[in-house]
Structure 1
Amino acid sequence: MTAQEARWERRLESLWASFDDHGPGDFLRRVESLAAELPPGDAVALYELASAHDALGREEGAAALYRRALAAGLPDGRRRRAVIQLASTLRNLGRTEESIALLTAERELRSDELDDAVTAFLSLALADAGREREAAALALTALVPHLPEYRRSLTYYARALTTGDGARPGSGTAAVPGPPSAHTRAAPGP
């Protein structure tokens, strides 16, 4: 990144940090002004404009801009965010199946620090589509790695939500801690 690009990014970051200090029209004008400093059709400029429209509740315009930004070849740092944001916008516009398709494909592409965000927005879209059990299973599965205990049980319960197995008495899947640590013991179960 050049020094000029870094200054532009800092100015943009500062503007987003002060979002609540601006009226909607003022904020959009400021983003448009920053975007105009980049070449016409620049993917990053289109993405930032889309994000501004989205943040201001202008979802139809945001969706079109996200699509243009993605088509223009967003760099990796913004590409996945654009997919997440476009999918969320589509869900808000009632285009749930399109949102699910985008996020499902995104989950299969690669893994990074945004995996849980992809899963969270996919869970919301699945719930909107009437697939609540699948949504809950995805959300629980994303949560499991962040828990210090109960991983084994919650992994089983998440799987049971979509397979219909459910917890059975004596199956060793009651809310027991796992994996073992200095203050817990291993519990039986799947």
Structure 2
Amino acid sequence: MKSWDDRVDAVWADASGEEVGAETIARIDALAAERGVDDARAEFERAGARDSAGYPADAVVLYRRALALGLDDDHRAQCIVQLASSLRNMGEYDEALTVIQCAESLPAGSPYRDAIATVHALTLASSGRPAHGLSVALMALVPHLPRYHRSMSAYAQEIAELDA
């Protein structure tokens, strides 16, 4: 028999490339029910299904619950990205930025650091601070450059000040 994670992955694979709707939510909810309402991972998957189906307000409640119940580092990072993105989509920019600050406690090597920076940049741009958002995006790119770290970092900081 496939593991719970494998079965969740199969639902998401089936939903890939098409609009997520009631069927996907029902399938995820059925899998989540196997783990109970006090399981952080189950709540995270339930949130993701609603988020993908276009119900960000419902997803936000479940993302917050998943974080409160305690997720492993990998799923916690994903939850922060998805929660902040949902809040941004709902126009709750200050809340989204507060959630992004939670990412500071993630391990330094988290593979989601760039995703968090992307949502951070988008949130700043959406909230009327596009130069600061560009600065965040540029700073996320700097470690990936073969050279020019110091100068590009300085330029990014300079650009952030344009919104002041």
Using the size of structure 2 for normalisation, the TM-score is: 0.87
Higher RCO (C-alpha 8 Å, min separation 6): 2
* Superposed displacement of residue 149, structure 1: 4.7
Matches within 5 A, 1:20-169: 20=16, 24-107=21-104, 109-111=106-108, 112-163=110-161
Asked if the contact 2:131/2:161 (under 8 Å) is kept, the reply is no
Partner deviation per Cα, 1:52-95 (whole Å, 9 max, x = no partner): 00011111100011111111112222112111111111111110
CA distance in 1: counterparts of 2:91 and 2:19, whole angstroms: 29
CA distance in 1: counterparts of 2:102 and 2:74, whole angstroms: 18
Asked if the contact 2:135/2:157 (under 8 Å) is kept, the reply is yes
RMSD: 2.0
- Unaligned regions of 5+ residues in structure 1, if any? 165-190
Considering fraction of residues, name the structure with more helix.
Answer: 2
The match for 1:11 is 7
CA distance in 1: counterparts of 2:33 and 2:118, whole angstroms: 33
User: In the comparison of the two structures, how many residue pairs are matched?
Assistant: 160
CA distance in 2: counterparts of 1:22 and 1:89, whole angstroms: 17
Asked if the contact 1:88/1:121 (under 8 Å) is kept, the reply is yes
Q: Which has the larger radius of gyration?
A: 1
